[in-house]
Amino acid sequence: MKPSDRPDSTVAEIIACHECDTLNRVPELAPGKKAQCSCCGFVLSHNPRGGLDRPISLYLSALILLVLANIFPFLTLEIQGREEMTTIIGASLALYNAGMGELAVVVMITSILAPALLIISSLYVLLSVRYRLGFPAARSTLSWISQLKPWGMLDVFMLGVLVAFVKLGNMATMHIGISLYAFCGLILVSAAAASAFEPHLLWDKLGFPKGRRDAG
């Protein structure tokens, strides 16, 4: 293993298990290795192969797909010769205009705003650490990312679209837009990016105090 592949930390650290609260001493991990809780087996930390370059490339891809998903038509409905085209933002506005303001806000937050903030915040921290750019508030942004994750519900939105497909299938002709393909890609790439994003590596690089983290 090359020294450059290693995280900056050179000593074992104590991590509290997120599942059972057991304190575990976790040594420096080689690339591709993971540390599990000695009591319940929960993965406390892992050092993914490819270091920070992998999550950076995945989040950049996700950002491009998110832009594509929002600027191109999502779906075109054809009913009795009349065509209705919509975008994701257009769907939220349609809900609002139909008197479902609360639902419109939820759709807007969970399918556009939260994923966009999550992608941009993650890139902000990753690029700051990877290229030693020293962006301000990188630590608080990293802390904020874990609170933002539950609000991203791209898959739930997709489930709703699939239900609409089934319900409207007999009533109208539907044409899938570029946005829908981009959205499907976004779900897959976002999942891969989240899996490659290892907060413990970033905490180490940003120099948080040792022994005061848990494995969330």
Cβ closer to Zn ion: 40 or 188? 40
Report d(CA 84, CA 71) in Å as an integer.
16
How far, CA to CA in Å, does 40 sit from each of 29, 43, 133, 216? 19, 9, 38, 15
- At 46, the amino acid letter reads H
Six token digits for residue 151: 């609000």
Q: Which residue has the tokens 């650490």?
A: 129
For position 35 contacting Zn ion by CB under 5 A, the verdict is no
Cβ 160 to Zn ion, closest distance in Å? 36
> Using the rule CB under 5 A, is 40 a contact of Zn ion?
yes
- State the DSSP code for 11: S
Is 19 a binder of Zn ion (CB under 5 A)? yes
Q: Which residue, 38 or 140, is less far from Zn ion as judged by CB?
A: 38
Q: Which is nearer to Zn ion, 44 or 186 (CB)?
A: 44
User: Which residue reads 């539950």 in tokens?
Assistant: 150
Q: Is 39 in the site for Zn ion (CB under 5 A)?
A: yes
Task: Work out whether 20 is an interface residue with Zn ion (CB under 5 A).
Answer: yes
Under rule CB under 5 A, residue 18 binds Zn ion? no
User: Binders of Zn ion among 134-153, rule CB under 5 A?
Assistant: none
Rg over alpha carbons for the chain, rounded to the nearest Å, is 21
Please give the residue ranges that form the binding site for Zn ion (CB under 5 A).
17, 19-20, 22, 37, 39-40, 42
